[in-house]
Each structure stands twice: as C-alpha cells, then as structure tokens.
C-alpha cells in the first residue's frame, strides 16, 4: 500500500494544488463584482482607490515570490505552505470585519503575503514528482483550479450579494473557512520533504565544488551570477509581466466596466466575466498536452497563444453587445493567459537548475505578478481621468504585442536552432 501511495503521490500533489488554486481564486475574484456594496460600508471612493484593494493584495503576493521560493528550496513545501495559508486566512478574516478602506487595504496585503508562499511550492513540487511526459498536463490541471475558483468567486459573489441581497462580507467569510480547510488538507496530504531538500543541496554543493576546481573563480562566479537572468529568462519574465497585466486588468475591472459602460447589471456580470474560465480548462489541457508531445515546440506554442491573446484583447472593446463580448471572452479563455500559463511554467522548469526550481519559478512569477500590482490601480486611475475603461484594454493589448516580440527575438530563434540541431 505504501509503495502504491509513493507511486501515485504525484496525483495527490496535482489534486492538492488544483484545490489550492480554487480557494485562492475564490478569494481573488469575489470582491470585484461588489465594489458598489463595499462602498456602502466604507463610504464613496474613487475608482483608483477601489483598484488599490487588488493592488494591495498583489503587492504582498508579489513581494513574497522570491523569498518564498528560496524558503521552499531550503525547508520544503509543507513547512512554508501551512504558515502562509494561516496568514492568508487571517487577512480574509480582517477584511470581513473591516469598516474602513484602510482596514481592507491591510487585510488585502496580509492575504497577499500569505498567498505568496503558494506558487513556488505548488509548481516546484509538481515539477519534482510529476512524470516528465505529463508535466504540461499536470501543470494545466493544477492551473485549472484557478478557472474553477474564478467562476465560483464571481458567480457566487454576484448571486449571494446582488441577487439574494446578503452582506458582501458573506463571501469573505466563506473564503476564510475554505482557506482554513486547505491548511488542514496540507497537513494531511503533503509529505515533509526537508530531508530530500538537504540531500539535494548537499549534492548541488558537491557539484559546485567540483566545477570550481575545474574552472577559475571568476568564471564560476559569472556562471552562477547569470543563472536567473539569462537573456532568454528575462524575455520570459517580460512576457509573463505583459500576459498577467492584460489578464488582471480584465478580471479586476471588467465587472465594473460592464455595469458602468455597458449597462449590464445583476448576476449577469459574474456570468459574462466567468466566460473567461469556462473554456480555460479545456484550452489549458489541450495546449499543455500538445507541449508535452512536442517538447521542442514549446516556444512556438507560447508565441502562437500570445498572438491570439493580443488580437482578442484588442478587439474586445469593439464588441457591439454582450453576446459578442461573451464569445470573445470564451475565446480568450481558450487561447489566452490560462492556456499559455502551464506551457510557460513547463518551459521555465525545463531550463531551471535542479536545486533552484522554486527560486527560478519564484523570480518568474514575481515579474508576472508585479503587473497585478500595477494593473488594478493604474486602470482605476485611467478611468478616473478618461471616464472610460477602453484605453486600458488597448494598453493591455499593446503590452502583449511588445512582450511577444521580445520573446520571439530571444527564445523563438533559440528554439528554431534547437530543432535544426535535433
């Protein structure tokens, strides 16, 4: 029985971290449909101030990416995840009790700090245990939890608050309970792998000493110093920043945009915005499976998906009605950020040093999530100045195009050379 558990442990990991993304995204998406109701509690606020609620969360989340990746590489995933999610639960509880915008800011930042431990832990453990020919699909299944959580958060919040008239804090309380349950599940399902970490670091230390004997000190230092910031890695970081900027701009401000500029109200807001997530799961599964089968084509798949995302974000503002907009959002879910995420993660983990996978993914996600700090507040400021959100969508599309071009000039050419060599 124990041998079978060890053999199937990767399936437990995939299920666990898929569930974790569900809980995280229920929290992330539940407040955006109820900004108006929140202001009934804390008083009228500007759009930029309301955007700062998400920015505070993502500031805390982004700030923890590199430190948490380092901590995961040193002490193991379980020892970082459980304390982190306890902090996450405390932040959600503070928001539920908040009666001022400042208290919501503090709770959001605290929740972000707690969530900041998740990314490196989830995908480093997935990379370590999921079989090589299933890495892309495994990452896609894990990531699909974010689509499910987004649907539950948007529709649940819209239905409970706007349709049933319950207090906006209801979904926050539900979220805090779910986070607490995840802490208990981590304690049960995940193994403490601190011994594995120590063995891995000792092996890496011996390998480093062996390389140092064969090379000059200056050469060794240069090699180590450039490990996380090779030009192709930098291009991946920039591309992920641009990808996440467009995505978080949409999920943060599209509900308000639909209500204020398209006249759509009630539960329909959550339904339309959740269209992104309806096709995200099959899209992510298909393209990650394709990348597992064609490992030498991962860069090409990334470029193709980013081009589709650019076109869809650019034309979304031209939609004449809710039906056409829903179709565009369905296509964006199928071909956009949620689809390219597992392919990018797999692409990065393939190239990362074995003893620094969590740190590499932490740096990668730091740059991506830095955009989530900027996008909500900047979009709110643009709306305050221009009285319209359309400029923000065009800005998101422009960034997608710029990031894709940079990626093509670096990783695209390198991938082609690798295929010719093969």
Q: Between 128 and 106, name the one with better pLDDT.
A: 106
Helix (H) or strand (E) run with residue 388 in it: none
Indicate if the alpha-carbon torsion angle 399, 142, 32, 109 is positive or negative.
Answer: negative
Q: Between 320 and 343, name the one with better pLDDT.
A: 343
Mean pLDDT within 267-274: 71
CA–CA separation, 278 and 219 (whole Å): 50
Confidence band, pLDDT 50/70/90 cuts, at residue 420: very low
**Domains of the chain and any CATH numbers:** 2-193+228-421 (1.20.1250.20)
Neighbours of 318 (CB within 10 A): 11
C-alpha distance from residue 353 to each of 118, 139, 337, 361, 399 (Å): 20, 18, 25, 11, 29
In the chain, pLDDT over 70 holds for what percent of residues?
A: 86
Q: Which of 390, 403, 399, 270 is nearest to 344 (CA)?
A: 403
Q: Between 113 and 384, name the one with better pLDDT.
A: 113
pLDDT of 85-103, one tens digit each?
999 999 999 999 999 999 9
Q: Between 6 and 112, name the one with better pLDDT.
A: 112
pLDDT of 324-374, one tens digit each?
888 888 899 889 888 898 889 888 888 777 667 777 888 888 898 888 778
pLDDT beyond 90 at 77: no
Mean pLDDT within 260-289: 77
Greatest mean pLDDT among 65-74, 198-207, 227-236, 297-306 = 297-306
For 132, the token pair is 């090589």
pLDDT of 19-48, one tens digit each?
999 999 999 889 888 888 999 988 888 877
Three-state DSSP state, 261: helix
Q: Which of 132, 178, 144 is nearest to 26 (CA)?
A: 178
What's the pTM value of the predicted model, to 2 decimals? 0.71
Greatest mean pLDDT among 142-146, 217-221, 226-230, 414-418 = 142-146
pLDDT beyond 60 at 1: no
Three-state DSSP state, 155: helix
CA–CA separation, 402 and 398 (whole Å): 6
Confidence band, pLDDT 50/70/90 cuts, at residue 251: confident
Q: Which of 124, 120, 21 is nearest to 62 (CA)?
A: 120
Mean pLDDT within 259-263: 74
pLDDT of 111-139, one tens digit each?
999 999 898 788 778 878 888 777 778 87
CA–CA separation, 327 and 276 (whole Å): 9
Mean pLDDT score across all residues of the chain: 82
pLDDT of 192-250, one tens digit each?
766 565 555 555 555 555 555 555 444 443 344 457 788 889 999 999 999 999 988 88
C-alpha distance from residue 334 to each of 147, 176, 191, 278, 318 (Å): 11, 30, 34, 8, 19
- Placement of tokens 């565009």 in the chain: 328
C-alpha distance from residue 388 to each of 314, 352, 382 (Å): 15, 42, 8
Q: Which of 142, 82, 92 is nearest to 112 (CA)?
A: 92
- Phi and psi dihedrals of 189, rounded to 5? -85, -30
Q: Which of 190, 276, 221, 196 is nearest to 17 (CA)?
A: 190
């Amino acid at each position: 029985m124990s041998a079978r558990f060890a053999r199937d442990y990767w399936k437990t990991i995939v299920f666990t971290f898929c569930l974790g993304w569900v809980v995280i995204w229920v929290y992330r998406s539940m407040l955006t449909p109820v900004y108006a109701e929140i202001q009934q509690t804390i008083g009228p606020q500007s759009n930029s101030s309301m955007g700062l609620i998400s920015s505070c969360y993502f500031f805390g989340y982004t700030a923890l990416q590199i430190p948490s990746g380092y901590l995961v590489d040193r002490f193991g995933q379980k020892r970082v995840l459980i304390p982190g999610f306890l902090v996450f639960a405390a932040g959600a509880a503070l928001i539920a009790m908040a009666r001022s915008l400042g208290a919501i800011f503090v709770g959001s930042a605290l929740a972000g700090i707690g969530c900041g431990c998740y990314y490196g832990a989830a995908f480093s453990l997935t990379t370590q245990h999921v079989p090589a020919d299933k890495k892309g699909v495994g990452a896609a299944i894990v990531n699909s939890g974010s689509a499910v959580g987004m649907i539950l958060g948007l529709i649940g919040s819209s239905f409970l608050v706007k349709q049933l008239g319950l207090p906006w804090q209801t979904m926050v309380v539900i979220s805090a309970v779910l986070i607490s349950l995840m802490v208990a599940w981590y304690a049960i399902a995940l193994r403490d792998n601190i011994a594995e970490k120590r063995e891995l670091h000792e092996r890496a230390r011996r390998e480093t000493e062996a390389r140092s004997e064969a090379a000059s000190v200056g050469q060794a230092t240069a090699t180590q110093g450039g490990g996380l910031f090779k030009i192709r890695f930098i291009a991946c970081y920039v591309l992920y920043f641009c990808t996440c900027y467009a995505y978080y701009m949409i999920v943060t401000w599209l509900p308000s945009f639909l209500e204020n500029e398209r006249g759509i109200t009630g539960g329909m807001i959550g339904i339309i915005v959740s269209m992104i997530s309806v096709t995200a799961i099959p899209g992510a599964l298909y393209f990650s499976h394709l990348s597992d089968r064609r490992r030498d084509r991962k860069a090409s798949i990334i470029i193709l998906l980013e081009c589709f995302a650019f076109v869809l974000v650019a034309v979304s503002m031209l939609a004449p009605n809710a039906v056409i907009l829903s179709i565009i959002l369905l296509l964006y879910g199928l071909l956009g950020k949620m689809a390219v995420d597992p392919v990018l993660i797999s692409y990065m983990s393939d190239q990362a040093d074995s003893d620094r996978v969590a740190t590499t993914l932490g740096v990668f996600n730091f740059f991506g999530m830095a955009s989530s700090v900027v996008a909500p507040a900047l979009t709110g400021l643009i709306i305050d100045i221009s009285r319209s959100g359309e400029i923000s969508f065009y800005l998101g599309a422009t960034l997608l195009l710029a990031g894709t071009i940079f990626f093509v000039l670096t990783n695209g050419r390198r991938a082609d050379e690798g295929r010719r060599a093969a």
